[in-house]
Amino acid sequence: MKLGVPMEPKGETRVGIVPTSMKKLLKAGFEVVVEKGAGVAANYHDSAYEDAGATIGSRKEVLACENIVCIRFPGIEGISKGANLACVSDPFRNPENVKACMDAGITLLSMDMIPRRLSRAQSMDVNSSQDNLAGYKAVLLGASHVPKGIPMMTTSAGTIRPAKVVIMGSGVAGLQAIATAKRLGAVVYASDVRKTAAEQIESVGGRFIEVDGMDDFEDESGYAKPLTPEFIQKVNDTVCGVAADADIIVTTARIFGRPAPITVPSSAVANFKSGAVIVDMNADVGGNCEDTVAGKVTTTSNGVIIVGTSNLPGTIATTASMLYSNNLTTFMTSLVDEGAVVISEDDDILVGAPEDSDFYVNGMGGVLICKDGEIHPKQTRLGGVL
């Protein structure tokens, strides 16, 4: 079984497999071929891969492998018919990539479609591992841009009040952001449309912002449901009111397969204080802040700094690559049966939980997107997009 690890596209500093994963992959029977220089941006050099048992090869050699693992969709050129491609393909936003794989007879395994509530999926959940790091880095970016100290300090020149941080959304990324801001010494307020999040927010040191009329807007997969325009407006008004005098605001609201919802409209930004910093964690999918510019740090006319970094995990590529590699290695080795990678219809990770399961989400399957030129039957929502 050959497993190829290609270099990621320009702008992506992470790598799909790191040298420390080699032992487990080799034990499972994989022969790993890594494209020359694939891990350099994440500080994993060719010599480390070779020392761990991998072969360094050309891109052509890597893409000729029957199994290819990476982060970004690498394109289909050079990939053989029948090959397995495991990556974060974001199929709802990039249906053209799914169509390309179908036309080429490539089996597409999209790691962002992991059924995250299945207990067996936890160690394979690339969304959680990368979101966790993104939440951590978002607060550090906010702290680096805000023109004041974060913790309370008592000095001979006077007492410095702690910074006020508001975290909008408290999923995996939001909870890590809360915990990080709290460790830095900030007073942290946090919101979420899921009522169940209140206890989680408080457990990591945050103060829950409750909105009148709040229900539990959470779907069966653990993601936030789309909200009515009226309730979105109420949430925006309440949370942005709390954030009006905040020093750092981190936005985390992301809806699976849809554009990011606007949680900080321009009208709210106009009322934030000069020197406040907004870190928009969803700049890559439209942004939560109406004034965010993807990939840039901008300053509004009233002095509010907006950080639109598009790939937060990529800013800490060494750690992010290691966690992603652990997820991917666990996933790929789980597919091995008697010396071959088997794409089984009985594997809930691949095809989604049974329809009678609490974990089943109507119209969405698991990681398996297409095989043998056909979209998987459970991917009915994606079929509608195509």
Active site residues: 116, 122, 125, 128, 223
d(CA 184, CA 179): 9
Pairing of strands 158-160, 153-155: antiparallel
Cβ neighbors of 159 (< 8 A, separation 6 or more) are 152, 153
Strand partners, 153: 160
What is the 3 state secondary structure string of 216-280?
CCECCCCCECCCCHHHHHHHHHHHHHHHCCCCEEEECCCCCCCCCCCCECHHHHCCCCCCCEEEE
User: In the chain, which residue ranges form alpha helices assigned H by DSSP?
Assistant: 22-27, 46-51, 59-63, 95-104, 126-145, 172-184, 197-203, 229-243, 266-269, 317-334, 348-351, 380-385
Residues present in the chain in total = 386
Pairing of strands 277-280, 207-208: unpaired
